[in-house]
Amino acid sequence: MFKHVFSTMNEVLDEILSGYPNSVGEEKAALEEQLQVLKAMSDECIESWLLFEEKLGTFYGALPKTAQHLHEELLELELSGKMTSEFSKGQGYYKLFMYDQAIDEFEALVRLQPDFLLARIYLAMGYLRKGDFHEAYRHFQFLLPLTDNTKMKAISYNAMGCIQVQNKNMQIAYEYFKKAYHHDPTTMESFLHLEE
């Protein structure tokens, strides 16, 4: 959506930068005026983005603590040597809360590398953050039997528990949180202290 706008802004800035050193008089004044317009556009974009981030941050501040910190848990997982530019791009979108774009990147990645489980869990988390609980749940269910990684299992069960809380299925949520705790107590320590 913004790619075209910023591409055009960069092209105009490149033209200004190449012409400015040799410009004089009216030509220099015109280039400086163009610079001011670009700066005003940039400032407006930044201000709008910060307002958006503030509102988004307020929303995510209301989410259960476990859902807020799952991304940090994901970053600790082993990449198994599959770090690619596509993965970095998807992860970048995810960090910027651009979940539709992140989902597109991770969907493409898992089609090419079906055994890239970290991409799969990011895909599931993208759906979770987007609010598509059904699709997120489906991906977490798919992921669980494919991994022996206890942290990945804990994150999956934890997220499925959060989804069940959203659906007001507290008993099922409790069972998933219990499984998450069993696989990796550190994932749940700050949220629940369950007896095994």
8-37 pLDDT per residue, tens: 777 888 888 888 888 888 888 888 888 888
Q: At what angle do helices 150-166 and 117-130 cross, to 10 degrees?
A: 20
Q: Could you tell me if 46 and 89 lie in one domain?
A: no
Structurally, how many domains does the chain consist of? Answer: 2
- Of residues 55 and 22, the one with the higher pLDDT is 22
Residue 138's pLDDT is what?
A: 92
Share the mean pLDDT of the chain.
77
Out of 61, 85, 110, a domain closes at: 61
Domain that holds residue 154: 65-188
Residues 143 and 75: their CA atoms lie apart, in Å, by 17
The pLDDT of residue 64 is 47
Residues 15 and 82 occupy one common structural domain = no
Q: Is the dihedral of CA 189, 194, 195, 196 positive or negative?
A: negative
Tell me what pLDDT residue 69 has: 52
117 falls within a domain: yes
Examine the pLDDT at 61 and tell me if it is beyond 60: no
- Lowest average pLDDT, out of 21-25, 74-78, 123-127, 131-135, goes to 74-78
Q: Are 72 and 47 found together in one domain?
A: no
CB-based burial label for 147 (10 Å; 0-12, 13-18, 19+): middle
pTM of model > 0.75: no
